[in-house]
Structure 1
Amino acid sequence: MDLKFYYAYGGIHPVIGPVFYASAAALPDQADSQRYDLYVCSVLMAIAQIPSSCERIINAISSIEDGIESSIVEGGNDVLLYMDATGVQVDIQVNDDWIGQPQGRFTLKEWRKVLEQWKRLLEMPEDSQEVLMLSLP
């Protein structure tokens, strides 16, 4: 699965000027692109608006991988990540059809890579034209 991370131009705000939004998307025409768009890309801004939020969730993943914690629940803004040694279950609370679904299940390794790339994007200037790519197995 190939994902791209970028800043999308959101127009001109009358007070603050140009507005850019941190964005992620699965490249189209891939077998699971809709699943990754919904359960990964669309939830990133809800759970990790700043680099330290990414780091907090990455540290939670490390705690599980190292056997320090058996399970951790992270999230925010109507999105919960249920993490344990078997992986990450993403539940989007605004729709009952998006809770507990097998399509919302991912490996710890996948989420670590996604969050590392998302953090890199959030550390870049918002007006950057750079697109970061990530290939997941």
Structure 2
Amino acid sequence: MLFWQGSFEGDKGQKERYERYICNTLPAVAQTDRECAQLLSYLEMAERGEGEYETGGNDVTLTITKTGVQVDIEANEDWIAQKEGFFSLADWWAAVTGWQKFIKMDCDLKTSVDVEL
């Protein structure tokens, strides 16, 4: 059995942050194409200033506002309401669109998608 997992390559000072709050949470909040589409819809509506959206799953809560996305990992109190868990809408847009493309691909050990954040 294969498990989908994202990883971050880039600024080593940001690696732990991006992997904890984006790469490791995407499988919890967007397991299907439909869930990715819903998340993208929330991001679009928030960007237009049409409200605040709270979504998530598996001990992860995303609070999406016009100013960005706050990721709270409820399995650890130290990872709730942390500054390092806040990302731009653009970062989450790029991550979710890449993730959506990835989960639509055939399952293979060589399957990968690169996304620039």
Cα distance change on mapping 1:28 and 1:61 into 2, 3 Å: closer
Structure index of larger Rg: 1
Amino acid at match of 2:44: S
**Residue correspondences, number:** 117
1:32 aligns with 2:14: yes
Distance 2:96 2:9 in 1: 17
Amino acid at match of 2:48: D
Per-residue CA distance 1:77-113 (angstroms, 9 max, x = gap): 1100011111000000011100000000000111011
Aligned position for 1:53: 35
SS of equivalent residue, structure 2 residue 63: strand
5+ residue gaps, structure 2, are: none
Aligned position for 1:91: 72
Per-residue CA distance 1:51-74 (angstroms, 9 max, x = gap): 11011000011111123x220001
5+ residue gaps, structure 1, are: 1-18
Structure 1 length-normalised TM: 0.81
- Structure holding more helix per residue: 2
Higher RCO (CA 8 Å, separation ≥ 6 residues): 1
For the aligned residue pairs, the C-alpha RMSD in angstroms reads 1.3
Aligned position for 1:10: none
Q: Percent identity?
A: 33
SS of equivalent residue, structure 1 residue 22: coil
Distance 1:134 1:48 in 2: 16
Contact 1:26 1:33 in 2 (8 A): yes
